[in-house]
Amino acid sequence: MPDPNNYREREEQLRQRELDLRLRELESEIHRVEPPFHPTVRDNRSNKPTRSFKRDLILAAKVSGFFLTGVVVVYISQWLAWISFFALIGAVGWAWFEFGRKS
């Protein structure tokens, strides 16, 4: 028959070992050093910088694309405005020629 005192000693040793391991974990958490804050590091503690050359290049491409699209739209609308203007002059001239000369 097993000795009950030996069981209690074994249980106490296991409990002490668990406490020691937990104490080491807590000490390692306490003595852990946070990396220094850098302005390019995000607030969510990710070490990925907020800006990169690739992102800047994509942003520049988007901005220049919008600019060129705007230039093309203005150019086309300017031509459409001139065409409309001359069409209006032509319509007024035609109406004057058609209806004005009879009176």
* Model confidence pLDDT, tens digit, residues 51-77: 788 888 888 999 899 999 999 999 999
Q: Cα angle vertex 50, ends 46, 56, to 5°?
A: 150
Is residue 50 a contact partner of residue 42, using CB atoms and an 8 Å limit? Answer: yes
Domain boundary assignment for the chain: 4-36+52-100
Residue ranges for the chain with pLDDT beneath 70: 1-4, 34-50, 101-103
Report the predicted TM-score, pTM, of the whole model to 2 decimal places. 0.36
